[in-house]
């Protein structure tokens, strides 16, 4: 039986090396390089005039009915997996904005418009339309309006929690729109701005005057920034950026009393930031949180713990072309760390048997989405570690472990396709992980057949090199 | 499956290959997963045909290396 492995290009031979690293670009090459082979044009089409200002952006709003549908779609498809927007506050601002006369809309906060438009853009991405091209154009148009609103807000020199939320979503929009290169670059600006506003710092230390609600919101948004940075880094094999933080995962507690405020501080806590025009005062509600708030927080903490571990054990060594482990016991210990973390997560987050997944699809699609995203990310990283090779230190690929982990990761994609097909067809991150897992699986089978050397990175590089071409 | 999964306990040897891996359940399952993934990746991403083609070409050419 004879099989031939594809041979990686000579420029990509080194183990664990990334073809995307700037250091791989010949110094003599002064022409701009397309890093990932994706998205050759600027992602935000320029429909805007110099003097158009915010009125021009307001002028391209969808109808209210259409906007309602897109926002609902956003909260249905995107919010479960990246729950960083306080739904009640979002809707309060949204209702208030839409109730304004045109003249007042035109002087609204441009960042509010940026957030609304990117929500419309993502809602459009997950809306079924007869033509995929039409859907992409419509979504791109809303994204362009969002970017223009960000520009009008001077987002490079002024930032806010809402700005960061809008930018996180712009990044995901770009990935889903096959602009991974642009998402990587935009994410860099996003991280700098998050640092600039101290989002990486423990709000109990640097934002003592914030309400408890605002502190929790800051933690959620920081987690979203960190999570995006970490797992995009896994796919692109570039250095992680969100590495400086003292926000503790467990500081995002399940305490839902945080919104008892505005002159009614409970448990003796002082809450000096009392806004008489806040939604809590204008329209007090007995239950400010949606019913899934607690399970959302469990999900956020789970992904946060995972991101912290992955950043340290996968992203950082890979970004410098280093092996992940330096001995077989070290590899076993690392896998054990992942196993321990896995056991600490809620069972409904990790369950993978088909009957349970089918049950979630009919009873709790929000939880199903969270389950699928967790499993995909977790098992993908376990696969990478199992496939790790460090020849100098005697670390070999664990074919069995890599094959099993790849199958577990891929199972989440196949479940996604079976139960949430539209979503599965949109999320670039999920598709690309599945692609890498399928390639890994194929080569694991071939390894069994051919007793070939195990080098997952070369496999990835083969693929990536093709993309560069 | 057990035999394939035990390859890490001993060097991958031709003894393991005396039977077609096609008879091994895990290999069969893995192969089916890859085939299914390839089918799906051929359906998604049509708005970025170059990306779609690259992914599917890479995966298909690897998949076709499996001799059974």
SS in 3 state form for A363-419? HCHHHHHHHHHHHHHHHHHHHHHHCCCEHHHCECCCHHHHHHHHHHHHHHHHHHHHH
Task: Find the mean pLDDT for residues A35-59.
Answer: 81
Q: pLDDT at residue A453 above 50?
A: no
Q: In which residue are the tokens 């891996």 written?
A: B21
Which of B6, B16, B30 lies at the smallest CB-CB distance from A403?
A: B30
For residue B55, the chain A residue with the least C-alpha distance is: A435
User: What rounded mean pLDDT belongs to chain A?
Assistant: 85
* Rounded distance between C-alpha atoms, residue A377 and residue A350, angstroms: 11
Q: First CA to last CA across chain B, in angstroms?
A: 17
- Best A37, A449, A461 member to test B by mutation, with max B CBs in 10 Å, is A449
* Chain B contact set for A128 (CB, 8 A): none
Query: In the prediction, which pLDDT does A265 show?
Result: 36
Contact A178, A204 (CB under 8 A): no
Mind listing the pLDDT tens digit for each residue in A179-216?
Answer: 998 999 999 999 999 999 999 999 999 888 889 999 99
Contact A302, A374 (CB under 8 A): yes
Q: pLDDT at residue A17 above 50?
A: no
Query: In the prediction, which pLDDT does A276 show?
Result: 52
- Structure token digits, residue A49: 């005039």
Q: pLDDT at residue A339 above 50?
A: yes
* Chain B contact set for A133 (CB, 8 A): 47
Q: Do A414 and B26 touch (CB under 8 A)?
A: no
Confidence band of A415 (pLDDT split at 50, 70, 90): very high
* Chain A contact set for B27 (CB, 8 A): 445, 448
Query: In the prediction, which pLDDT does A450 show?
Result: 67
Q: pLDDT at residue A246 above 50?
A: yes
Q: Do A435 and B27 touch (CB under 8 A)?
A: no
* Rounded distance between C-alpha atoms, residue A102 and residue A119, angstroms: 21
For residue A462, the chain B residue with the least C-alpha distance is: B58
Please give, rounded to a whole number of angstroms, the shortest distance from the CA of A329 to a CA of chain B.
14
Phi, psi angles (nearest 5°) of residue A379: -70, -30
For residue B6, the chain A residue with the least C-alpha distance is: A400
Q: Do A398 and B67 touch (CB under 8 A)?
A: no
Ranges of chain B whose pLDDT falls below 70: 1-23
* Chain A contact set for B13 (CB, 8 A): 451
Classify burial at A255, counting beta carbons within 10 Å of its beta carbon; exposed 0-12, middle 13-18, buried 19 or more: exposed
Q: Do A448 and B59 touch (CB under 8 A)?
A: no
pTM of the model: 0.84
Classify burial at A114, counting beta carbons within 10 Å of its beta carbon; exposed 0-12, middle 13-18, buried 19 or more: buried
For residue A401, the chain B residue with the least C-alpha distance is: B5
* Rounded distance between C-alpha atoms, residue A138 and residue A130, angstroms: 13
Which of A403, A411, A417 lies at the smallest CB-CB distance from B40?
A: A417
Confidence band of A428 (pLDDT split at 50, 70, 90): very high
DSSP string, chain B: -HHHHGGGGS---GGGGSS-GGGSHHHHHHHHHHHHHHHHHHHS-TTSHHHHHHHHHHHHHHHTTS--
Q: Do B14 and A438 touch (CB under 8 A)?
A: no
Q: pLDDT at residue A458 above 50?
A: no
Q: Do B36 and A431 touch (CB under 8 A)?
A: no
Give Dmax (Cα) for chain B: 47
Please give, rounded to a whole number of angstroms, the shortest distance from the CA of B6 to a CA of chain A.
7
Confidence band of A448 (pLDDT split at 50, 70, 90): confident
Mind listing the pLDDT tens digit for each residue in A340-397?
Answer: 999 999 999 999 999 999 999 999 999 999 999 999 999 999 999 999 999 999 999 9
- Structure token digits, residue B7: 């390859």
* Chain B contact set for A410 (CB, 8 A): 33, 37
Q: Which residue has the higher pLDDT, A450 or A340?
A: A340
Above pLDDT 70, what percent of chain A?
A: 81
Q: Do B30 and A407 touch (CB under 8 A)?
A: yes
* Rounded distance between C-alpha atoms, residue B47 and residue B65, angstroms: 29
Which of B29, B40, B57 lies at the smallest CB-CB distance from A407?
A: B29
* Chain A contact set for B36 (CB, 8 A): 414
Among A298, A309, A304, smallest CA distance to A228 is for A304
Query: In the prediction, which pLDDT does A137 show?
Result: 93
- Chain A and chain B share a number of CB contacts under 8 A equal to 126
Q: Do A407 and B46 touch (CB under 8 A)?
A: no
* Rounded distance between C-alpha atoms, residue A449 and residue B16, angstroms: 8
Query: In the prediction, which pLDDT does A286 show?
Result: 55
Mind listing the pLDDT tens digit for each residue in A122-167?
Answer: 999 999 988 888 999 999 999 999 999 999 999 999 999 999 999 9
Confidence band of A52 (pLDDT split at 50, 70, 90): very high
Above pLDDT 90, what percent of chain A?
A: 72
Q: Do B36 and A2 touch (CB under 8 A)?
A: no
Task: Give the single-character DSSP code of A315.
Answer: I
């Amino acid at each position: 039986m004879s099989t031939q492995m594809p041979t990686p290009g000579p420029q990509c031979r080194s183990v664990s090396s990334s073809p995307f690293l700037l250091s791989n670009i010949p110094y003599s090459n002064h022409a701009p390089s397309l890093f990932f082979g994706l998205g050759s044009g600027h992602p935000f089409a320029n429909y805007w005039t110099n003097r158009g200002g915010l009125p021009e952006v307001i002028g391209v709003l969808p109808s209210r009915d259409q906007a309602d549908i897109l926002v609902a779609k956003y909260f249905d498809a995107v919010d479960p997996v990246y729950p960083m927007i306080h739904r009640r506050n979002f809707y309060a601002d949204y209702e208030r904005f839409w109730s304004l006369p045109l003249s007042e809309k035109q002087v609204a906060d441009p960042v509010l418009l940026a957030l609304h438009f990117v929500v419309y853009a993502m809602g459009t991405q997950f809306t079924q339309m007869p033509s995929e091209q039409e859907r992409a154009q419509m979504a791109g148009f809303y994204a362009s309006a969002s970017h223009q609103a960000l520009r009008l807000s001077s987002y490079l020199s002024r930032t806010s929690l809402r700005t960061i939320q809008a930018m996180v979503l712009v990044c995901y929009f770009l990935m889903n729109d096959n602009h991974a290169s642009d998402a990587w670059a935009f994410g860099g600006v996003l991280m700098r701005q998050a640092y600039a506003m101290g989002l990486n710092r423990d709000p109990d230390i640097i934002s003592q005057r914030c309400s408890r609600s605002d502190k929790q919101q800051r933690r959620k948004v920081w987690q979203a920034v960190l999570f995006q940075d970490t797992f995009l880094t896994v796919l692109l094999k570039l250095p992680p950026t969100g590495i400086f933080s003292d926000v503790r995962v467990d500081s995002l507690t399940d305490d839902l009393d945080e919104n008892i405020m505005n002159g009614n501080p409970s448990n003796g806590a002082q809450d000096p930031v009392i806004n008489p025009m806040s939604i809590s005062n204008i329209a007090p509600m007995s239950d400010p949180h949606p019913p899934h708030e607690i399970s959302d927080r469990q999900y956020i903490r789970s992904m946060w713990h995972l991101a912290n571990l992955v950043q340290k054990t996968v992203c950082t060594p890979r970004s410098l072309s280093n092996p992940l482990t330096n001995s077989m016991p070290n590899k076993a210990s690392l896998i054990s760390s992942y196993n321990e973390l896995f056991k600490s997560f809620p069972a409904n987050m990790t369950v993978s048997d088909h009957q349970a997944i089918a049950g979630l699809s009919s009873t709790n699609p929000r939880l199903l989405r969270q389950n699928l995203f967790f499993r995909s990310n977790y098992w993908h990283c376990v696969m990478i570690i199992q496939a790790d090779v460090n020849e100098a230190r005697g670390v070999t690929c664990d074919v069995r472990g890599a094959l099993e982990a790849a199958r577990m990761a891929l199972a989440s994609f196949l479940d996604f396709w079976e139960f949430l097909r539209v979503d599965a067809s949109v999320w670039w991150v999920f598709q690309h992980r599945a692609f890498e897992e399928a390639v890994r699986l194929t080569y694991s089978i071939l390894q069994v057949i051919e007793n070939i050397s195990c080098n997952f990175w070369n496999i990835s590089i083969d693929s990536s090199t093709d993309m560069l071409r | 499956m057990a035999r394939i999964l035990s390859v890490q306990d001993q060097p991958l040897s031709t003894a393991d290959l005396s039977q077609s891996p096609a008879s091994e359940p895990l290999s069969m399952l893995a192969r089916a997963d890859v085939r299914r993934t390839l089918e799906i990746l051929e359906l998604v991403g049509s708005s970025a045909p170059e990306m779609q083609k690259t992914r599917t070409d890479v995966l298909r050419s690897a998949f076709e290396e499996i001799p059974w």
